[in-house]
């Protein structure tokens, strides 16, 4: 019995069952799959570097180790720059606390005038709500940091092993699929790797360009610690759509907390708008390119689904994973309609 011979209602029920089961597995196995997914995407980016190192005479194990070190160095530079600039922001922590206290006092007076709750009553309500909160916050924060550290370490180990044993995995795929499907399967793997490489390399280049543009813009209008906020806004671009908005809002709020004028906040928002225009119409087409070639609807949908299933890691992984899914659909006749649905419609040239 083939899929086409199954009655339509049963086929629909089978598809729904497979979809629900897949989503359930992704949610339940999140702790296992998220580090592996990050490792898979990053390993595809680093494999060309590993091949070049091997051609220079390095052993495969040492080449894989150097690739992992290069990745660690890249992230260490980013976090090092943020930490270097954050030290200047910490010096203003006293002024920030004072400014926040003044804003809190003004808010209390406003609530007292408009709602009728006296400042003392507001303080008692906040103290009751916050009872035990510091201890809970510290415990939760420690648990989250330990979980992130473990996931990062696990992902680095996975990356090393994926690079080192890549030929072994390819041989497994060749043996696991029928002989007439081996060529198509290996082509899918190569193209999926190319998608990952193009997307991540383009994203890194675009983030560097955003650092420069935000740095020039924030410095020009007089934002304190402009370099820190430029690096922050650019780096948060790793989280599509939401990241750059959060970076801009944090810049505006901290600028207000450090005594910035409303006009300065308007300037920050204006710079954000200009940078987003340049990014959308110039940087993304030129730097990132159309390699993923996803329909804008499914770009947003994929990010929403990624966040619902895996949270922020799902948002970061959504675009490369959906791009790989589209490539797989494009290479199988039964799935080509879905590949067309996920992708952008190519504009036909007008015939004269």
In sequence order, the 6+-apart residues with CB closer than 8 A to the CB of 330 are: 336, 339, 343
Is residue 263 in a domain? no
In a domain, 304, yes or no: no
Residue 67 is predicted with a pLDDT of 93
pLDDT of residue 255: 83
Q: Is residue 321 part of a domain?
A: no
- Strongest mean pLDDT among 195-204, 223-232, 263-272, 278-287: 263-272
Q: Are 269 and 255 in contact (CB under 8 A)?
A: no
pLDDT in tens, 7-40: 777 777 887 888 889 889 999 999 899 999 999 9
Separation in Å, CA 184 to CA 160, 194, 334, 339, 341: 27, 15, 14, 15, 21
Q: What pLDDT score was predicted for residue 133?
A: 46
Q: How far apart are CA 179 and CA 181, in angstroms?
A: 5
The pLDDT value recorded for residue 66 is 94
pLDDT attached to residue 348: 41
**22 in a structural domain:** no
The pLDDT score that the predictor gives to residue 351 is 41
Per-residue burial over 96-129, b = 16 or more CB atoms within 10 Å of its CB, e = otherwise: beebeeeeeeeebeeeeeeeeeeeeebeeeeeee
Distances (CA, A) of 39 to 15, 42, 68, 71, 347: 29, 5, 11, 11, 36
Q: Is residue 241 part of a domain?
A: no
**Domain range for residue 170?**
33-94+149-176
> For position 292, what pLDDT does the model report?
65
pLDDT, tens only, 101-137: 666 666 667 666 666 666 666 566 655 555 444 545 4
- Total domains, the chain: 1
Would you say residue 21 lies in a domain? no
Count other Cβ atoms within 10 Å, centred on residue 324.
Answer: 22
Q: Residue 275 falls within a domain, yes or no?
A: no
* Residue 164 confidence class, pLDDT cut points 50, 70, 90: very high
- Alpha-carbon distance 254 to 96, whole Å? 8
0.85 exceeded by pTM: no
Q: Is residue 349 one of the residues assigned to a domain?
A: no
Each residue of 228-264: b (16+ CB within 10 Å) or e? bbbbbbbbbbbbbeebbeebbeebbebbbbbebeeeb
> Tens digits of per-residue pLDDT, 263-307?
888 999 999 999 988 887 777 766 665 556 777 788 888 888 888
Tens of pLDDT along 243-268?
Answer: 878 888 888 888 887 777 888 889 99
Nearest-angstrom CA–CA distance, 344 and 341: 8
């Amino acid at each position: 019995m083939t899929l086409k011979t199954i009655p339509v209602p049963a086929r629909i029920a089978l598809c729904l069952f497979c979809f629900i089961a897949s989503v359930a597995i992704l949610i339940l196995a999140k702790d296992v799959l998220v580090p592996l997914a990050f490792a898979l995407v990053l390993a595809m980016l680093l494999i060309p570097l590993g091949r070049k190192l091997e051609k220079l005479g390095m052993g495969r194990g040492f080449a894989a180790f150097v690739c992992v070190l290069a990745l660690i160095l890249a992230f260490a530079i980013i976090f090092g720059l943020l930490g270097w600039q954050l030290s200047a922001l910490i010096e203003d922590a006293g002024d920030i606390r004072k400014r926040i206290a003044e804003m809190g006092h003004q808010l209390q007076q406003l609530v007292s005038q408009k709602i009728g709750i006296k400042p003392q009553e507001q303080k008692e309500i906040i103290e009751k709500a916050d009872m035990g909160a510091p201890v809970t916050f510290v415990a939760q924060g420690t648990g989250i940091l330990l979980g992130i550290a473990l996931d990062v370490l696990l992902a680095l180990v996975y990356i090393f092993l994926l690079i080192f044993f890549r030929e072994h995995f390819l041989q497994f795929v060749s043996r696991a699929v029928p002989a007439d499907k081996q060529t198509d399967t290996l082509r899918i793997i190569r193209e999926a790797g190319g998608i990952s490489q193009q997307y991540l390399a383009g994203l890194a280049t675009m983030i560097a360009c955003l650092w420069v543009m935000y740095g020039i813009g924030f410095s020009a209008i007089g934002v304190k610690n402009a370099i820190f906020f430029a690096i922050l806004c650019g780096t948060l671009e790793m989280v599509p759509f939401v990241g750059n908005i959060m970076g801009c809002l944090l810049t505006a709020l901290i600028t207000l907390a450090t005594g910035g004028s409303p006009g300065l906040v308007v300037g920050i928002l204006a710079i954000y708008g200009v940078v987003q225009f340049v990014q959308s119409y110039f940087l993304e087409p030129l730097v990132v390119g159309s390699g993923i070639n996803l329909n804008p609807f499914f770009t947003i949908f994929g990010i929403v689904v990624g966040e619902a299933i895996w949270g922020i890691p799902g948002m970061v992984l959504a675009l490369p994973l959906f791009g790989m899914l589209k490539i797989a659909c494009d290479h199988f006749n039964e799935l080509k309609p879905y590949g067309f649905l996920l992708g952008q419609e190519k504009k036909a040239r007008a015939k004269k």
